Structure 1
């Protein structure tokens, strides 16, 4: 009676190494990659998506538009009263232009104050709160300082006043997270303010 021959098949160590390497590579590629950012002392945080940021900006624009509409009604009433009192004189027209300029400046300052104070206090505007995202300092992971929050909003605002190309430059600034090469989805305004936008967990 002969002993049964064990079913032995030699294994190729190179095949095992190759399989393990493929498995390791697959695990790495399924990680968050550019979807997250490492913040000193805070660990890895998930980045806000471009869609979340865009919707938050739209919500804030609607809020600003509502406030601006109220201001426009008030301003229109003032201009109408001035025009009626001046009987169309040049002085009345000049005064109406001045009032209009002051009104536009007031709306711009109100937007700057709104965004700056909200970011410095809560790390988010009403639009960002609705989309559950937050602006934090890339260096500390905390809400940005007042000056950084102001810089973040002021950069596209200052671009907008450039003659002829200002509106396009401002739009490019808001869209700049789309082509950020750092992997942190930082817009030009984020880079200036040293901030990053994360999902608010």
Structure 2
């Protein structure tokens, strides 16, 4: 499988409340047009949940079984920003770590802390992000641009988790999907059918 980057974004965490997506870019052309809408809606839900649940100072890679070939990578910089990148599992961790740090550092340089703290969703410009999601489809190109050195002193420890393990005790992905206002009825039906198919396969 070729390496892919589906999503890049910068979020403002909200102390356990709902985070705010400040800017994002998606690249979903690898999905067919019949499933692309549902994939986008689920991606929005999973990314928001990941940004909400990533602790300050942590770099996390999250698995979600509805997008089994991909990882949701997050980095909460402890200074009011959380970078999020979604790639397939073959994408090198150390490159993603460099990209996440670059997004948070550049965004905080472009915008004052007061502007970030009061901004509404997707209201702060970051035009470079459009180029980045194209360039970083190739991790070798990303490595060259970032001049990443794969050394212990520049690579943060990555905590690998599943989406279910990030949720609060008693909170389930099924409930999150059912309550979400960002998912259309067809996407919720898609989720239910996929869950039933997976259940049947596991029984067999």
TM-score, structure 1 as length reference? 0.27
Higher strand share: 2
User: Which of structures 1 and 2 has the bigger CA Rg?
Assistant: 1
TM-score, structure 2 as length reference? 0.27
Higher helix share: 1
